[in-house]
Amino acid sequence: MFTGSYVALVTPMFENGDIDYKSLEKLIKFHIEQGTHGIVSVGTTGESATLPFDEHVNVVKETVAMASGAIPIIAGSGANSTAEAIFLTEQLGAVGVDGFLSVVPYYNKPQQRGMVAHFNAIADASEQPVILYNVPGRTVADMLPETVAELAVHKNIVGLKDATGDISRLKETLPLVPSDFVILSGDDGTSSQFMCEGGHGVISVTANITPKAISQMCEAALNKDFDKCRDIDKTIELLHSELFIEPNPVMPKWALYKMGMVESAVMRLPMVLPELSSQKRIEELLQKYALISG
C-alpha cells in the first residue's frame, strides 16, 4: 500500500489567484501517462497553508474525479489544531480519497506525547488510512522514531513520510514498526539512498517535472535493482537541488509554467514569483534536460 513514486502535486492558479482546474486536469493526465504511482493533493507543495477549507476540499474532490481511479489520491489534511485536522479529514473523507497525509503540528512545538494524542485522534476519526508526515525543517517540532512506533500500533496509521533527509532516521525507525508499515522519503536529494536502505518510495517534488524518471527509480529500488535506482537518480540529481533554491513550491511552479504544463506560475501570498536569477537558473537546467527548447 502506498509504495513507489507519489508526486507532491502543485495546485495551478490563474493570474488572479483562482484555481486553474483545466491545468490541474492536464497535470493529472500527465502523471498517469508518465507512470506516477500516486498523487498527494493539496499538501505543502499544493499550498495547503493558503487554501481555505472549502477550496482545499474542492481541489481534492476534483483531483479524485479527474484521476478516475487510475492511481491513488492521498489528501493533505494536516493542521496545527487537532480539531481543525479532524474536521478537514472528515470533510475530505467524503470525496473518495484513498488516504491522508497529516503533518506534525507546526508552530505549536508539541511534546512527543502531544503528537501521539494528536495523530491518534485524527486516525480515530478517519475511515481511510493515515500517513504521518515529519518535516522538522518547516514545523520545528521533530517526531522521534519511538513516537512513530507508538503510533504505528493504530490500525489506521499505515505509514510515515520522513522529510528529515537523515538516512539514520530510517534505520532507527524500520526495526520499531510493523513490516507492512510504509516509510516514504520526503527529501528528493536523499530519496535514492533512502530506498536503497529499505524505504518504500518517495513523496516527490521533483516528480512534478520528471515523473517518469522518479517512477522508474522507485520501481528499480522496489525490485532491489539498486544500481539502476542510483543511475537514474544521477541523471536528475541537479533538479533535486535546483528546485529548492527558493522555498517550495516557487521553483516547481515556475518550471511547469516554462514547460507549458500550467498557464501561470502564480502562488498565493506570501509566496511570490522567483527572483530573475532563479528563473534563469531553472530555465537553463530545463534546457539541459531537453524539457524546454533553448
pLDDT one-digit tens code per residue, 228-271: 999 999 999 999 999 999 999 999 999 999 999 999 999 999 99
Query: At 63, is the pLDDT very low, low, confident or very high (cuts 50, 70, 90)?
Result: very high
Q: Residue 152: pLDDT above 80?
A: yes
For 16-57, write each residue's pLDDT tens digit: 999 999 999 999 999 999 999 999 999 999 999 999 999 999
Q: Residue 69: pLDDT above 80?
A: yes
Which pLDDT score, from 0 to 100, does residue 84 have? 97
- Radius of gyration (C-alpha) of the chain in whole angstroms: 18
What is the arithmetic mean of pLDDT over 69-81? 97
What is the arithmetic mean of pLDDT over 162-186? 98
* 161 included as an active-site residue: yes
Cβ burial of 121 (10 Å; 0-12, 13-18, 19+) is middle
Cβ–Cβ < 8 Å for 286, 292: yes
Which pLDDT score, from 0 to 100, does residue 249 have? 97
Q: Residue 209: pLDDT above 80?
A: yes
Percent of the chain with pLDDT over 90: 99
Which residue would you say has higher pLDDT here, 1 or 43?
Answer: 43
Catalytic residue among 26, 61, 106, 133: 133
Catalytic residue among 26, 61, 161, 253: 161
Q: Residue 1: pLDDT above 90?
A: no
* 288 included as an active-site residue: no
Which pLDDT score, from 0 to 100, does residue 59 have? 98
Tell whether 203 is in a known binding site.
yes
Query: At 227, is the pLDDT very low, low, confident or very high (cuts 50, 70, 90)?
Result: very high
What is the arithmetic mean of pLDDT over 180-196? 98
Give pTM, 2 decimals.
0.97
Cβ–Cβ < 8 Å for 4, 222: yes
Q: Residue 294: pLDDT above 80?
A: no
What is the per-residue burial (b if ≥16 Cβ within 10 Å, else e) of 178-206? eeebbbbbbbbbbbbbbbbbebbbbbbbb
Domains defined for the chain, CATH in brackets: 4-288 (3.20.20.70)
Average pLDDT over the chain, rounded to an integer = 97
